[in-house]
Amino acid sequence: MRIIRFWKDFWNDESGMGVVEVILIIVVLIGLVIIFKNQITGVVNEIFEKIVSQSRSV
């Protein structure tokens, strides 16, 4: 009976679910960055170009 109770408690224990969810979110974000790398780089370059050009006018 102890073994059955142990496995039922183990199966119903959800204390580690937060870690799994965080890891899955990180994996998805990394995947999106890899997929949209060129677009992200273009946007960041445009922003820095605007910053540089506007800082020269000051």
d(CA 25, CA 23): 5
pLDDT bin (cut points 50, 70, 90) of residue 57 is confident
pLDDT at 26 over 70: yes
Q: 15 near 8, Cβ under 8 Å?
A: no
Single pTM value for the model: 0.53
Domain count across the chain: 1
Q: 33 near 40, Cβ under 8 Å?
A: yes
For the segment 19-38, the average pLDDT, to the nearest whole number, is: 92
What is the overall mean pLDDT for the chain?
Answer: 87
Instruction: Look at residue 15 and tell me if it is in a domain.
Output: no
pLDDT at 17: 67
User: Where do runs of H (alpha helix) occur along 1-58?
Assistant: 2-12, 17-35, 37-57
Instruction: Look at residue 49 and tell me if it is in a domain.
Output: yes
Residue-range definition of the domain harbouring residue 46: 22-58
pLDDT at 30: 97
Instruction: Look at residue 8 and tell me if it is in a domain.
Output: no
